[in-house]
């Protein structure tokens, strides 16, 4: 799977980036993010949200946050009515400061499955119905070369 398969591609977005997910989210769809972690990175985050309001802040279905500072980890969570839920923390970090990466978010009926550099990393069960998720954001210490959206058919 590569961005060459994507139906919609966003190239070299300015970070922080927020944009619509073309056609919304359905099981079988894939979002690919190709980027590089800066050498001095602390953290970055990918958010799949329900709208793009900042005040009040939109609900976040998937907040995916690799953290490089302290104990390396990946934190996932959801934001509902401006409150964070319970963090799901994986004490493993396949990203490296200064290195390029490819992250794939696969949309399943019951969960998101995230793979990094070709290896499955984690699964995050849906807290917000897929039909409410329409906005992609990426922010923090990251450079993004391409975001690709691959539809399910």
Q: Report the interface residues with ligand 9QG, using CB under 6 A.
A: 45, 63, 65, 75, 77, 84, 87
Cβ distance to ligand 9QG smaller for residue 63 or 126: 63
Degrees, nearest 5: CA angle 60-2-34: 55
CB of 84 to ligand 9QG, least distance (A): 4
* Residue 18 beta carbon to ligand 9QG: minimum distance, rounded to whole angstroms: 12
The C-alpha atoms of residue 37 and residue 74 are separated, in whole angstroms, by 14
CB of 3 to ligand 9QG, least distance (A): 25
48, 46, 110, 38: which is closest to 69 by C-alpha? 38
**Whole-number minimum distance, CB 116 to ligand 9QG, in Å?**
18
Residue closer to ligand 9QG, measured from CB, 65 or 135? 65
Query: Looking at beta carbons only, is 75 or 128 nearer to ligand 9QG?
Result: 75
- Read off φ and ψ for residue 132, nearest 5 degrees: -95, -5
Considering beta carbons, is residue 34 or 137 the nearer one to ligand 9QG?
137
* Exposure string for 2-38, b = 16+ CB within 10 A, e = fewer: ebeebeeebeebeeeeeeebeeebeeebbbbbbbbbe
Our CB check for ligand 9QG shows the closer of 30 and 67 to be: 67
Pairwise CA distance, residues 57 & 49, whole Å: 10
Cβ of residue 78: shortest distance to ligand 9QG, in angstroms? 9
């Amino acid at each position: 799977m590569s961005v060459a398969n994507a139906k919609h591609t966003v190239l070299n977005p300015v970070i922080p980036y927020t944009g619509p997910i073309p056609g919304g989210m359905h099981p079988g769809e894939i979002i690919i993010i190709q980027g590089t972690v800066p050498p001095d990175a602390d953290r970055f985050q990918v958010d799949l949200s329900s709208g793009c309001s900042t005040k009040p802040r939109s609900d976040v279905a998937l907040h995916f946050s690799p953290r490089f500072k302290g104990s390396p980890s990946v934190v996932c969570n959801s934001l509902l009515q401006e409150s964070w839920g319970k963090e799901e923390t994986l004490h493993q970090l396949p990203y490296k400061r200064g290195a390029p990466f490819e992250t794939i978010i696969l949309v399943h009926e019951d969960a998101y499955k995230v793979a990094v550099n070709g290896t499955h990393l984690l699964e995050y069960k849906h807290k917000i119905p897929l039909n409410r998720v329409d906005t992609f954001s990426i922010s923090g210490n990251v450079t993004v070369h391409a975001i690709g959206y691959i539809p399910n058919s």
